[in-house]
């Protein structure tokens, strides 16, 4: 109200521009005053720990909020009373992360408003506790907390999970992408890259490459393997995808992407020496990874490295060696060799560390996987395309 009064009086007494300027100044002053008056207190009663927040809850108050929340013992009941009219994203994230952790550890966490009324998160028909702006996040949130703990009971089977996800896509995403997909349907696909990676569910190719419909021609298999052509056990499925991408779609680059915690690489390390025909399809498929195992053994443990730190263990070392080996197998494909000779195709190795959400690109001359750092936001300082500020991007394999 004070802002409107000051603005009106300023316009009447001094003019439009002066009145608006006075109103803006008062609005800024009021906002700063409210931010500095945020109070966060912790009080323990017989039945619960009470965290009360009075005033505007913004990123400036997150450190104090976090300290107060950490005073709540593990496994106890906590009530967070939000006595204010505004909460920014940083504060919401801090509260949400603490509430999730506290609940998983066996405690209770309840959010209330000024009058003690319980606050519930916005819900969606597909996943009642997932945030609307990140519907893919934490899709196990509807399961009992015990099911999220190591060694906990198995989560119940959700029969309609696929249908729920499709319904959420039709409701929330389809309206935004329908125009672009209609264009692609008319014009056909023209991807610039063939992206060959593992089937691991934690590896979301569109997310880590910031790509959309029509950008990547993707091949996924267990262990991101490229069977060498001409061998008795060569795989026509992968070879057909490579031929189609290179000769028909005319992609300009091929990326082989490995990742941390790869079960296929761990299986190769643990497998006994191959003396007989494997009894299962998985065992027969993993034979395509044996050259990677041989390469790591022949070259030594320090042959392929991550810039900034050595590989954590033999499994990670094998993941890196496997990327390099599959690039060698790619070069042996006739279509790839021809385009490489013409200079119209580039091969690239990549490693993604799942737990760190960190991507690495291969610099082939040193067999070094170089960390990719964040590029400036759009509208920031100009950067040469393909370069990463502060780091030398790994060269492509030609």
135 has pLDDT over 50:
no
pLDDT above 70 covers a percentage of the chain that reads 74
Looking at the whole model, is its pTM more than 0.75? Answer: no
Q: How confident is the model at residue 335 (pLDDT cuts 50, 70, 90)?
A: very high
The first and second tokens of residue 179, run together, are 């125009």
Greater confidence, 384 or 335?
335
Mean pLDDT computed over 147-172: 69
CATH for 190-371 is: 3.40.1050.10
Lowest mean pLDDT among 58-67, 168-177, 215-224, 319-328: 58-67
Cα 265 to Cα 222: distance, rounded to the nearest angstrom: 9
CATH architecture of 39-131: 2-Layer Sandwich (3.30)
pLDDT tens digits, 48-59: 898 888 877 777
Nearest alpha carbon to residue 213 among 246, 241, 176: 176
Cα 285 to Cα 52: distance, rounded to the nearest angstrom: 58
Angle between helices 314-331 and 263-270 (to 10 degrees): 100
pLDDT tens digits, 257-289: 999 999 999 999 988 766 566 778 898 899 999
> According to the model, what pLDDT value does residue 188 have?
93
Q: Give the residue carrying structure tokens 């005033």.
A: 55
Cα 250 to Cα 253: distance, rounded to the nearest angstrom: 9
Average pLDDT, the chain: 79
139 has pLDDT over 60:
no
Cα 368 to Cα 320: distance, rounded to the nearest angstrom: 9
* Beta pairing partners, 313: none
Cα 81 to Cα 103: distance, rounded to the nearest angstrom: 17
> According to the model, what pLDDT value does residue 120 have?
45
Query: How do 346-353 and 253-259 pair as beta strands?
Result: parallel
Q: How confident is the model at residue 395 (pLDDT cuts 50, 70, 90)?
A: very low
pLDDT tens digits, 301-333: 556 778 767 888 889 999 999 999 999 999 999
Greater confidence, 156 or 297?
297
What are φ and ψ of residue 21, in 5° steps?
-60, -40
Q: Under a CB-based contact definition with an 8 Å cutoff, are residues 227 and 329 in contact?
A: yes
* Beta pairing partners, 42: 51
In order of 176, 280, 301, the CA distances from 181 in angstroms are 10, 40, 46
What are φ and ψ of residue 118, in 5° steps?
-70, 140
Extents of the domains making up the chain: 2-36, 39-131, 190-371
Cα 254 to Cα 340: distance, rounded to the nearest angstrom: 11
Q: Give the residue carrying structure tokens 């610039």.
A: 192
Q: Under a CB-based contact definition with an 8 Å cutoff, are residues 360 and 306 in contact?
A: yes
């Amino acid at each position: 109200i004070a802002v409107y009064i000051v603005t009106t009086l300023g316009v009447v007494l001094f003019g439009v521009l002066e009145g608006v300027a006075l109103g803006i100044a008062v609005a800024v002053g009021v906002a700063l005053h409210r931010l500095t008056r945020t109070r966060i207190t912790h009080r323990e009663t017989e039945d619960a720990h009470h965290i009360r927040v009075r005033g505007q809850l913004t990123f400036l108050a997150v450190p104090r909020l976090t300290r107060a929340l950490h005073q709540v013992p593990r496994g106890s009941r906590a009530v967070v009373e939000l006595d204010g009219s505004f909460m920014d994203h940083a504060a919401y994230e801090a509260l949400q992360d603490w509430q999730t952790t506290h609940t998983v550890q066996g405690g209770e966490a309840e959010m209330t408003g000024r009058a003690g009324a319980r606050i519930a998160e916005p819900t969606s028909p597909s996943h009642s506790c997932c945030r609307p702006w990140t519907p893919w996040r934490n899709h196990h949130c509807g399961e009992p907390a015990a099911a999220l703990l190591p060694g906990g009971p198995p989560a119940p089977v959700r029969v309609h999970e696929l249908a729920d996800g499709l319904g959420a896509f039709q409701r929330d995403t389809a309206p935004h992408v329908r125009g672009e997909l209609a264009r692609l349907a008319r014009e056909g696909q023209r991807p610039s890259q063939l992206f060959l990676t593992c089937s691991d569910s934690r590896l979301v190719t569109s997310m880590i490459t910031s790509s959309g419909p029509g950008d990547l021609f993707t091949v996924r298999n267990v262990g991101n393997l490229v069977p060498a052509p001409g061998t008795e056990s060569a795989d026509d499925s992968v070879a057909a995808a490579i031929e189609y991408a290179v000769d028909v779609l005319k992609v300009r680059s091929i990326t082989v992407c490995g990742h941390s915690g790869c079960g296929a690489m761990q299986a190769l390390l643990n497998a006994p020496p191959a003396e007989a025909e494997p009894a299962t399809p998985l065992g027969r498929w993993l034979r395509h990874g044996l050259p990677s195992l041989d390469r790591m053994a022949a070259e030594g443990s320090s042959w392929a490295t991550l810039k900034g730190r050595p590989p954590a263990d033999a499994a990670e070392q094998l993941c890196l060696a496997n990327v390099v080996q599959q690039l060698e197998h790619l070069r042996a494909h006739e279509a790839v060799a021809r385009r490489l000779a013409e200079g119209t195709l580039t091969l690239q190795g990549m490693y993604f560390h799942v737990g760190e959400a960190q991507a690495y690109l291969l610099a082939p001359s040193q067999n070094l996987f170089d960390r990719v750092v964040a590029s400036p936001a759009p509208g920031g300082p100009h950067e040469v395309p393909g370069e990463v500020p502060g780091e030398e991007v790994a060269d492509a394999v030609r």
